[in-house]
């Protein structure tokens, strides 16, 4: 199958310096979507992609999305592109994002974050290298390598690259749903490369993500902050109520204590449980990531199932409370506790929200406090699960084995990529998550990197996937 891949792989190797330079140019554009002052740079990054795609012969549109909600800022454009329009070929839709997280050298970076620095061990350090500029450029590089090799591109490629993913993808959902029967109408399947291997040695294909419901608990009482020396012992303190409520949500073993949550979770079948046995994952790798051995479980299977298959509740912080160094003897008048629940099949957003609100209100009522309570979801995103038996996944598995010489693990992830479900619902097609980078890349963190090997072999993988997906039987 896919006999022309050897020639394609050879050209990827020959062009590797050019492809690294393309990534260097992209990393140098500080496209931080969360900072208003950097919005022109985000737009410049979108234009860079549009220019590169146009040079490669793609038809490109910079789709304007209007103003960012609550501001006078223009949203960065979505890059919509098509390469090929052969009715006899399958059409694959790919998604990625060209914005990045904030980064400054003073955050603790070893190098300038917006300069691609290649270390002796092959680590290519720079903000956005792995999240998500490397994978996005992988699709462009795949097109160019086919052209230079004189090999016919195996599919029609639709591309959707956005510039607000790191700041909530403002405006994207409306566009995707609007174009589900428009620009994306002839897509046969969807591929997203915006996630990572489970470890560092073995590639994976991802078929599931947890959802996330994020909540605020507001407790207020006095009309203003109080001096604890004057009012301590005389006023019912909002912070005391809030801490007691938050302590009642989850225990130290990770068990969610809210009735109506665990009852929604789909039961684990014996076949499903067996999928975890062969996955390449070690607890030592997890300990290294944690910087400690403070895991709830000591074995692989229970750890992975807790991370992917079951819901979790995390406490994130308290707004309005003193958090600086030193001592401040203030009684805050109003505090807002923040927590989230990572959701899984078959949990429903509304049913989960109702259970949370009911439970928090019951706990508060038992305190007998004269303070005032509000509890509400701040935002919610649904879980996603695809069929790993779909031809889209089987083609990707064959491509992975061809490039990396090993069958991939089929994994879920504990995090959320809301656009995955959006594309599935808008197009009605199977969505595949095909990662380029590894678990140690440090996306969102200091010293973010993409290994040179993962970048170059990842370009081969994306191209090979398109060849195999072009001929995989649709059954």
CA distances from 338 to 240, 299, 315 (A): 15, 30, 6
Q: Say which CATH topology domain 5-209+384-471 has.
A: Aminopeptidase (3.40.630)
Task: Give the CATH architecture of domain 211-265+310-381.
Answer: 2-Layer Sandwich (3.30)
Cα distance between residue 441 and residue 446, in whole Å: 10
pLDDT of residue 270: 87
Cα distance between residue 443 and residue 161, in whole Å: 18
One of 165, 166, 448, 472 is an active-site residue; which one?
A: 165
Taking alpha carbons only, the member of 341, 187, 197, 328 closest to residue 255 is 341
Q: Is 165 in the active site?
A: yes
pLDDT of residue 4: 84
- E-only strand ranges, 110-169: 117-118, 123-125, 156-162
CA distances from 258 to 40, 262, 306, 347 (A): 45, 8, 17, 14
pTM score, whole prediction: 0.89
One of 41, 52, 99, 413 is an active-site residue; which one?
A: 99
Q: How far is CA 159 from the centre of its chain?
A: 18
Where b means 16+ CB within 10 Å and e means fewer, 87-115 reads eebbbbbbbbbbbbbebeeeeebeebbbe
Q: Where are the domains of the chain?
A: 5-209+384-471, 211-265+310-381
Q: Is 99 in the active site?
A: yes
pLDDT of residue 291: 85
pLDDT of residue 316: 96
pLDDT of residue 288: 82
Ranges of residues in the chain with a pLDDT under 70 are 1-3
Task: Please determine whether the domains at 5-209+384-471 and 211-265+310-381 fall in the same fold group of CATH.
Answer: no
Q: How do residues 94-104 score in pLDDT, each as one tens digit?
A: 999 999 999 99
User: What is the torsional sign of CA 90, 386, 431, 1?
Assistant: negative
pLDDT of residue 2: 65
pLDDT of residue 160: 98
For the chain, the farthest-separated pair of C-alpha atoms sits apart, in whole angstroms, at 82
The answer to whether residues 410 and 170 touch, using CB atoms and an 8 Å cutoff, is no
pLDDT of residue 1: 61
pLDDT of residue 227: 96
Cα distance between residue 365 and residue 359, in whole Å: 10
Q: For residue 53, what are its two tokens?
A: 């795609």
């Amino acid at each position: 199958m896919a006999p022309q891949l050897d020639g394609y792989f050879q050209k990827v190797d020959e062009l590797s310096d050019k492809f690294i330079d393309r990534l260097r140019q992209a990393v140098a554009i500080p496209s931080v979507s969360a900072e208003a002052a950097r919005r022109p740079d985000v737009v410049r990054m979108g234009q860079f992609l549009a220019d590169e795609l146009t040079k490669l012969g793609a038809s490109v549109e910079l789709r304007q999305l209007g103003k960012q909600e609550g501001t006078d800022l223009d949203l960065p454009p979505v890059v919509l592109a098509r390469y090929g329009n052969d009715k006899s070929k399958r059409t694959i839709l790919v998604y990625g994002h060209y914005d990045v997280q904030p980064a400054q050298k003073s955050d603790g970076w070893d190098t300038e974050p917006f300069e691609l620095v290649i270390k002796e061990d092959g680590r290519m350090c720079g903000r956005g290298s792995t999240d998500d500029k490397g994978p996005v450029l992988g699709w462009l590089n795949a097109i160019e390598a086919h052209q230079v090799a004189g090999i016919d591109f195996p599919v029609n490629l639709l591309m959707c690259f956005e510039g607000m993913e790191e700041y909530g993808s403002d405006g994207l959902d409306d566009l995707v749903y609007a174009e589900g029967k428009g620009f994306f109408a002839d897509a046969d399947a969807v591929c997203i490369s915006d996630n990572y291997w489970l470890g560092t040695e073995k590639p994976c294909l991802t078929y599931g993500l947890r959802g996330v419901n994020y909540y605020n608990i507001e407790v207020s009482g006095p009309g203003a902050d109080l001096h604890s020396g004057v009012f301590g012992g005389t006023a019912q303190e909002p912070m005391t109520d809030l801490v007691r409520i938050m302590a009642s949500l989850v225990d130290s073993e990770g068990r969610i204590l809210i009735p109506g949550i665990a009852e929604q979770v789909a039961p684990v079948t014996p076949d499903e449980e067996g999928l975890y046995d062969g996955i390449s994952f070690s607890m030592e790798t997890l300990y290294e990531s944690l910087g400690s051995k403070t895991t709830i479980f000591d074995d692989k299977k229970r750890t992975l199932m807790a991370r992917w298959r079951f819901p979790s509740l995390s406490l994130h912080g308290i707004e309005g409370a003193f958090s600086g160094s030193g001592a401040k003897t203030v009684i805050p008048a109003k505090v807002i506790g923040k927590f989230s629940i990572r959701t899984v099949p078959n949990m429903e957003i509304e049913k989960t929200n109702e259970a949370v609100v009911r439970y928090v209100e019951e706990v508060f009522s038992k305190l007998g406090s004269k303070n005032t309570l509000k509890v509400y979801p701040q935002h919610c995103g649904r879980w996603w699960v695809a069929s790993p038996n779909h031809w889209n996944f089987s083609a990707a598995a064959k491509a992975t084995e061809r490039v990396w010489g090993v069958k991939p693990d089929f994994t879920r992830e504990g995090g959320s990529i809301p656009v995955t479900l959006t594309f599935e619902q808008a197009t009605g097609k199977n969505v595949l998550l095909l990662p380029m980078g590894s678990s140690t890349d440090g996306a969102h963190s200091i010293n973010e990197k993409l290994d040179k090997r993962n970048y170059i072999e990842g370009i081969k993988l994306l191209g090979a996937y398109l060849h195999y997906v072009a001929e995989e039987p649709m059954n």
